[in-house]
Amino acid sequence: MALAVANSPDGLTAELEAIGRRARDAAQALAQVPAQARTEALAAGAARLRAARADILAANQRDLAEAKDLSAAMRDRLLLDDKRIEAMAAGLETVAALPDPVGLVDERWTRPNGLVIERVRVPLGVIAIIYESRPNVTADAASLCIRSGSVAILRGGSESFHSSAAILECLRGALRGAGLPEDAVQGVPTRDRAAVGKLLTMSEWIDVIVPRGGKSLIARVQAEARMPVIAHLDGNCHVYVHRDAKLDVARAVTLNAKMRRTGVCGAAESLLVDRDLATSQLPALVGDLLKAGCAIRGDETVRALDPRVTPATEADWSTEFLDAIIAVRVVDGLDQAIAHVNRYGSHHTDAIITEDAGAARRFLDEVDSAIVLHNASTQFADGGEFGFGAEIGISTGKLHARGPVGAAQLTSYKYRVHGSGQVRP
Amino acid sequence: MALAVANSPDGLTAELEAIGRRARDAAQALAQVPAQARTEALAAGAARLRAARADILAANQRDLAEAKDLSAAMRDRLLLDDKRIEAMAAGLETVAALPDPVGLVDERWTRPNGLVIERVRVPLGVIAIIYESRPNVTADAASLCIRSGSVAILRGGSESFHSSAAILECLRGALRGAGLPEDAVQGVPTRDRAAVGKLLTMSEWIDVIVPRGGKSLIARVQAEARMPVIAHLDGNCHVYVHRDAKLDVARAVTLNAKMRRTGVCGAAESLLVDRDLATSQLPALVGDLLKAGCAIRGDETVRALDPRVTPATEADWSTEFLDAIIAVRVVDGLDQAIAHVNRYGSHHTDAIITEDAGAARRFLDEVDSAIVLHNASTQFADGGEFGFGAEIGISTGKLHARGPVGAAQLTSYKYRVHGSGQVRP
C-alpha cells in the first residue's frame, strides 16, 4: 500500500470518501457470504502472515527507523519480532475457530394473528477503528470484524504505518483468495492527521467508530464523531475486602488484581478494606503489596501500618495508575464501599471478597459497573477469559455493548416476519 | 409545576444541571427497587390520571388558548379529551402489566476455571426524551422508562407545556405514593429553546437521548448530542410484489400497507412490481389504490395503465410521503427490487409478497432494514404488534436497539462473575 497523494484537503476528502464507498459496497457483499468463506479467509490470513514474515519485519524496521523520538516503552509497543508475528497469526486462527454470530436467531415467537417473528443477528456494517501504536491491533481488529461479517476501515498510529500496511496486505490477499471483497479490510493510506477528523464526519459510510487508545483520542472521538462510538475508557477498578472475607482469598485476589500485570485496564487501582479487618487482615494485605514492590497511598489507618505508605489524596481515588501503585482506604462497611466505588470508579470492573452471600449479592447488584466479581480477581476483565475468544476492547458505555466486546458484540439484529397475507386491522 | 426563573443563560444552566443531578440520584435509587414497586407506581399513575381529568383538560385548554398559529392538524395533535386521557391511563396499565426486564439473566455459563458468569439486564440510567406536540408522549415515554428501571427527563413541545406538566404531576405523585423517588420523572420547566442545546451536552447526567419528532429535531440531536442517541428516522417503506405472488395477498397487503393509516412510519411509500405481473396483477393493484383515493406516481409502464398516474421523479423514490401518495415502479425481478430498496429506502420496514420461499428468504436476508416481512403488511411495524406492549419509537440505527424500542430495549446489561478465590494466571 503506497502513500496516497493527499496534499490538499480536497484530495484527502476525496480519498477517504472513496474508501467509505468501497467499504459500503464490500459490507453489502460480505453480509451475504456464508460463514465458511469468512472462516477460510481468516485461516488463510494466518498463513499469509507467517509467509510474509520477512516483509513484515522489514516494514517494521522502517517504522522503527523513522520513529526517532519514541520512549523505550513506545518502541517496545511498536516492535515486531518472530514471536509477535506468530502470536498475531495464532490470534487469527483463534478468531477463525470462533462460532460465527451472523444469522443466529436470538428469539422466535408467534403472534396471535399467526405472524412468526424472528430476531436474527446481522453484521453492523462498516466499522472504523482508530488506534495507536501497537501494530498487532491491525490484525486483531480486522479479524473480529471479518468474523462478525462487518468490514473494517483501520486508522492505525502513524508510527506503525508501514507495519500495519504490510499486515493489511496479508489480510486483503487472504480475502481475495477466499473469493471475498478485499475492501472488507482497508487502511487509511496517509499519515495526515486531518484524516481522523474527516473519518469522524463520514456517517454515510461508517456505522460505528471504535477508538482504542489514550484518553485524548477517545475524548476527541466522542466529541467529534457523527456516528455511534464504542469506546473503551479508563479502568479504575476496585477490590473491596468485606468483613466476612477469608484471609487467604483476600490476599491472593488483591495481590493478583493489582500486580499480575499493572498496565492492563482490569488491574485494581484502589483497595477498600472494612474497618473490622484493620488489625486482622489489613496488615497482611498491605504487607503483601509492599513486598511485591507496589507503592501504597493510604488513609490514616493504612499509613499507621508502615512508614512506606504515603498519604492518599482525593485525586488518587479517581486515578487509573496503570503502574505498581495502589490507593488503600478503610471503609465503614458495605454501604460506604458501594458508594465509594460508584463515586470514584469508572464503571469498568470491581470485586468484593466475602463469604457473606447477601453482601456479595448487594455489591454485585448495586455497583454500577460493566463487570462485578465475587471472590475473583479484577484481572479476569478480558474477552478471552470470558470465553469470547478475542476482544476489541472493554466497553464502559451502557449502550449496545458493555464489558468485553467480541465478535458477537460487533453485530446488530433485524426482525424477520413470516406471514400468510396478514393485514393490520 | 411552575415556570422556572431562567432568564439568564447561567440560570438555565444551573436549573438543568440540578435536574441532571436529581435524575442521577433517582436512577441509583430506582435501579435497586423491586419490580413490584415500579408496577404499583405505574398502576397508581393510571388512577391519578383519571382522577385529575379536569385539571389535565384545563391545562390543555390553556395550551390551546396560547397556541394561536397552529394548523388544524397540529391543534388536533395537541388536543386532549376524555377519550385520550382514558387511552393514556390504559396505556400506563398496559405497561404496568408488562414483564419487568430488570434483573433478567440473558445467559449464564461456567468457565473451565470454575468462574460462573451471568449477563444480567440492568437499567440504562437516565434517559432524556425530547419530543414534539403530542402530550400523550409524556405518559408513554415516562411509563416505559419506569418499567425498565430508568429515570426520565422529559422535554416536550412548548405547545403542550401545561398539559405535559399536569400529566407529569400525576406520575410524580404516583411515584411518591409507591415510596419511589418522584425525580424518576422530571420535566424541563421552561420553554426556553436553549434548554435543548444544554441537555445535549449533559453527558455526565444523561446516559441516552431519545428524540421523537421531525427530521430537523432529529438532525439537530444527532449533530449536537454528546451522549448516545436512539433515533427514530424516516420510514420510507416498500412493498415488493414478486412474480410468484398470489394476487389476493398482493392486493390486500398493498392496500393495507399504504392506506390503513398514511401518517404512520410503517406506511408503505413505494410499490415495486415484477415486470412479469405488468398485465396480470399491476392493473388491479393500481386500480385498488386509485379507488381508495391514493395518488400514484409511476414509471412509464404504470402511467400507461391510467391517466391519473403522474410521472414519478427520482426524488419520489426517496420520499416519505406520510400521505395518500405512493410511488410505483416496475422492476426486472428480485435483484433489482432488493437493490432499489437498499438504495432508496430508509432501512425501516419492507415487505415481499411471494409464494416462492427462496425469493422470500433472499429478500429477508438481503434487504438491510430493521424489519423485513414476507406476505404481511408493513403497518405491523409497531411495538404493540410485536408484542412489546408499548414502544417509544422504531429505531433505524443498528447500534443498541433496532426496530421497535420497548421496555426491554431500554435496558443495558452487566456481567456478574461468581468465584471462589480465582486469580488469573
Nearest by CB: A370 against B230, B374, B415: B415
Q: Is pLDDT of B4 > 60?
A: no
Q: Is pLDDT of B16 > 50?
A: yes
Give yes or no for B366 touching A (CB within 8 A): yes
Residue partners of B404: CB distance under 8 A and separation at least 6? B381, B382, B383, B386, B388, B391, B393, B394, B395
Confidence at B8, pLDDT banded by 50, 70, 90: low
Give pLDDT tens digits for B75-89: 888 999 999 999 999
Backbone angles phi, psi at A230, to 5 degrees: -105, 105
pLDDT of residue A3: 41
pLDDT of residue A68: 81
C-alpha dist (Å) from residue B189 to A138, A242, B12, B153, B408:
49, 44, 10, 11, 29
Give pLDDT tens digits for A286-335: 999 999 999 999 999 999 999 999 999 999 999 999 999 999 999 999 99
pLDDT of residue A106: 94
CB contact under 8 Å between A207 and B398, yes or no, is: yes
Sheet containing B349-353: give its strands across: A105-110, A116-123, A411-422, B371-376, B349-353, B237-241, B268-274, B325-331, B295-298, B310-311
And the C-alpha cell for B267?
A: 406506511
Confidence at A389, pLDDT banded by 50, 70, 90: confident
B140: closest CA of chain A, how far (Å): 21
Give pLDDT tens digits for B186-216: 999 888 889 999 999 998 899 999 998 878 8
Give yes or no for A109 touching B (CB within 8 A): yes
Q: Is pLDDT of B3 > 60?
A: no
Which A-chain residues 298-337 have CB contacts (< 8 A) with chain B?
none
CB contact under 8 Å between B31 and A368, yes or no, is: yes
Confidence at B372, pLDDT banded by 50, 70, 90: very high
CB contact under 8 Å between B412 and A398, yes or no, is: yes
Of A33-37, A68-72, B74-78, B124-128, the poorest mean pLDDT is in: A68-72
Q: How far apart are CA A30 and CA A35, in angstroms?
A: 10
CB contact under 8 Å between B380 and A32, yes or no, is: no
pLDDT of residue B386: 95
Q: Is pLDDT of A6 > 80?
A: no
Of A5-19, A40-54, B24-38, the poorest mean pLDDT is in: A5-19
CB contact under 8 Å between B365 and A228, yes or no, is: no
pLDDT cut 70: percent of chain B above it: 98
Nearest by CB: A414 against B125, B370, B418: B370
Nearest chain B residue to A115 by CA: give it.
B376
Backbone angles phi, psi at A209, to 5 degrees: -110, 135
Confidence at B1, pLDDT banded by 50, 70, 90: very low
DSSP lists the bridge partners of residue A268 as A237
All residues of chain B having their beta carbon less than 8 Å from the beta carbon of residue A379 are 423-424
And the C-alpha cell for A410?
A: 460487533
Give yes or no for B361 touching A (CB within 8 A): no
Q: How far apart are CA B133 and CA A339, in angstroms?
A: 40
CB contact under 8 Å between A365 and B32, yes or no, is: yes
Please state the length of chain A. 425
Sheet containing B185-187: give its strands across: B185-187, B151-155, B126-131, B208-212
All residues of chain A having their beta carbon less than 8 Å from the beta carbon of residue B28 are 342, 368
CB contact under 8 Å between B380 and A226, yes or no, is: no
Confidence at B7, pLDDT banded by 50, 70, 90: low
Residue showing cell 441509583: B28
Nearest chain A residue to B252 by CA: give it.
A423
Give, in degrees to the nearest 5, the angle at Cα B188 between B183 and B193: 165
Mean pLDDT of B148-160: 94
DSSP lists the bridge partners of residue A120 as A105, A414
All residues of chain B having their beta carbon less than 8 Å from the beta carbon of residue A223 are 226
How many helices (H) and strands (E) chain B has is answered by 14, 16
Work out the number of other CB atoms within 10 angstroms of the CB of residue B36: 10
pLDDT of residue A201: 93
Q: How far apart are CA A341 and CA A349, in angstroms?
A: 10
Q: Which residue has the higher pLDDT, B136 or B49?
A: B49
pLDDT of residue A248: 98
CB contact under 8 Å between A415 and B249, yes or no, is: no
| pLDDT averaged over every residue in chain A | 93
CB contact under 8 Å between B109 and A387, yes or no, is: yes
Q: Is pLDDT of A7 > 70?
A: no
Please state the length of chain B. 425
Interface ipTM: 0.91
A136: closest CA of chain B, how far (Å): 23
CB contact under 8 Å between B380 and A256, yes or no, is: no
Q: How far apart are CA B420 and CA A249, in angstroms?
A: 8
All residues of chain A having their beta carbon less than 8 Å from the beta carbon of residue B32 are 365-366
Give yes or no for B343 touching A (CB within 8 A): no
Give yes or no for A374 touching B (CB within 8 A): yes
Nearest by CB: B228 against A252, A377, A399: A399
Give yes or no for A111 touching B (CB within 8 A): yes
Question: B175 with B184: CB under 8 angstroms?
Answer: yes
Give, in degrees to the nearest 5, the angle at Cα B336 between B332 and B338: 135
And the C-alpha cell for A223?
A: 466529541
Residue partners of B65: CB distance under 8 A and separation at least 6? none
